Amino acid sequence: QLQLVESGGGLVQPGGSLRLSCAAAGFTLDNYAIGWFRQAPGKEREGVSCISSGEITIYVDSVKGRFSISRDNAKNTVYLQMNSLKPEDTAVYYCAAGLEPLCGQMDYWGKGTLVTVSS
């Protein structure tokens, strides 16, 4: 019933850009904080960015200045614009939703979309 679906992943060269989308189904995300997380093979899951229902945003230091999170409540969708991509950004990217303001505990998770940054 409650579902988040990521899209927009793929193969991109270092220095390139990609925009990920996270669309909600079965609920309205207006009142939710939405976070982007990523997990590379053999690595722990890492929080990348979060946007609150009031559009306060936070980023992990490694992506600050390169990534930008935004939301379009009319489309029930959250985006992650990724610029100046590096090979170390390669991971499966997940979006998640929760009622805590800045992505504490997340209640709903998508299945993920793979981002590969390589020459």
pLDDT of residue 2: 82
- From first to last of its 119 residues, what are the pLDDT tens digits of the chain? 789 999 999 999 999 999 999 999 988 999 999 999 999 999 999 999 999 999 999 999 999 999 999 999 999 999 999 999 999 999 999 999 999 989 999 999 999 999 999 99
Measuring CA to CA, how many Å separate 94 from each of 30, 108, 119?
19, 10, 23
Q: Dihedral of CA 85/89/95/96: which sign?
A: negative
